[in-house]
Amino acid sequence: MNELNNQFIVYALSYLILFLICFLAGYRQELAFFFEFRDLKRFLKQLEEEVSDVKRIIKEEIKKIGVSWQDVEPHYETLTNFFIVPPVGDEPVGSIERLEQILEAASEQIERKIDLLIPQADNELKANMKQVFLEASRLNRIYKVVKHFYFTGVKSRNLTVLVQALTQLHFLKREAERSFNAVKTYLQGSLPMGWGVGALTAYEMMEGAEDVKVDGEVLIAEKRDHNKQIVIIKPKGPGARTGKNMGKVVVREVRRLGKPLIIIVNAQAKMEGEKSGAMSQAIGVAAAPEPLKYQIEKIVARKRLPVISILIKLSEKEFTEEMNENLRRAVEKAKDAVKSLIEKCRQPVLIIGLGNTFRIP
């Protein structure tokens, strides 16, 4: 009797399991959708909180400056919804010039808006606030993209749409974290950010320069070392600038120096497995944005000049966080590498320190 009961239980369980498998197979897409959708919903919630936090941090900073938030708030949405439409890419002729014009126009528009909102602030604080609003608008854009994916998925309940969103989720998370950290660093940081390793290298190499001058957003220093003419240029600090007229200054200095060795020091995102703070050398122009890279490459090719780029590896987070001791040591190594190149060459040298000059004079 017990044996019959046991067999009955086994058969019943087998049929129950078979039934569940058949039942769940019919709803496998819905189940997959449910489990995968949670990640997207969780990230959307995180972005909502970060967008709110950014607004709160900016509001506090505006009040510190002495400006009423009521006067700024109507313009806040305009600034944080600001983005750049790239030029036509299918027509290569003149595309760099068109992109340069768009970037310059966008930069000037934001600067005018900030001048209007906080006229009593000094130029360095205005430069910081410009970058703050750029990062806030980037974060807001990511939030809108994720929100679009979320509601499209809710409406269609289409697993293909969800998979499309999830493939971009890791990238969007990194970009959102980078922008959120950047806003906090610009408004609360007291040290240079990691992105400024190239600019800091150039600044420290300006020590002992006989002639230092400013041209727009670019600082230019000149000195002699190892009986060679050395010109060092970097974005002007200590506000958060990247040197929007850097390309024109580089071209002018190259023409003045004749046939210099060009040394570029810049930050580079490290690959997975690479050590943060590691340094590498490359032949070619490691510069951004594209108009700057194009302007330097154009005159380099025309005059057949040697170009060496010294790149300091950073993680995604380190770009927008305060510079740590590891990166400070990397700056010292970069300086040694530049000095070694100067000793070995026989012509004038043009050193270009790129990056963000937040908290770097």
| DSSP codes, 162-216 | HHHHHHHHHHHHHHHHHHHHHHHHHHH--S-BGGGHHHHHHHHHTTT-SEEEEET
Provide the β-strand partners of residue 350: 231, 262
| Strands annotated E in the chain | 211-215, 218-225, 228-235, 261-269, 279-283, 307-314, 349-353
Split at pLDDT 50, 70, 90, the class of 28 is low
What is the per-residue pLDDT across 271-317, written as a single tens digit (0 to 9) for each? 988 999 999 999 999 998 888 999 999 999 999 999 999 999 999 89
Range of lowest pLDDT (77-81, 283-287, 339-343):
77-81
* Residue 308: per-residue pLDDT: 96
Average pLDDT over residues 190-217: 94
Split at pLDDT 50, 70, 90, the class of 89 is low
* Residue 90: per-residue pLDDT: 63
Residue 99 CA, chain-centre distance (Å), reads 18
Average pLDDT over residues 17-42: 61
| Cβ-contact 129, 114 below 8 angstroms | yes
- Could you tell me the two tokens for 123? 């130029």
* Residue 32: per-residue pLDDT: 57
pLDDT: is 328 or 167 the higher one? 328
What is the per-residue pLDDT across 9-22, written as a single tens digit (0 to 9) for each? 655 666 566 555 55
What is the per-residue pLDDT across 235-276, written as a single tens digit (0 to 9) for each? 999 999 999 899 999 999 999 999 999 999 999 999 988 999
Taking residue 113's Cβ as centre, other Cβ atoms within 10 Å add up to 17
Calpha distance 309→164 (Å, rounded): 37
Label residue 35 exposed, middle or buried (CB < 10 Å: 0-12, 13-18, 19+). Answer: exposed
Expressed in angstroms, the distance from the first to the final Cα of the chain is: 92
- Could you tell me the two tokens for 210? 């006989």
- pLDDT surpasses 80 at 194: yes
What pTM was computed for the model? 0.86
Split at pLDDT 50, 70, 90, the class of 129 is very high
Split at pLDDT 50, 70, 90, the class of 84 is confident
Split at pLDDT 50, 70, 90, the class of 107 is confident
CA dihedral 316, 145, 128, 103 (to 10 degrees): 100
Please give the mean pLDDT across all residues of the chain: 86
Split at pLDDT 50, 70, 90, the class of 161 is low
The tally of CA atoms less than 13 A away on the side-chain side of residue 299 is 21
pLDDT > 70: what percent of the chain? 86
Residue 337 sits at φ, ψ, to 5 deg, of -65, -40
β pairing state of 307-314 and 261-269: parallel
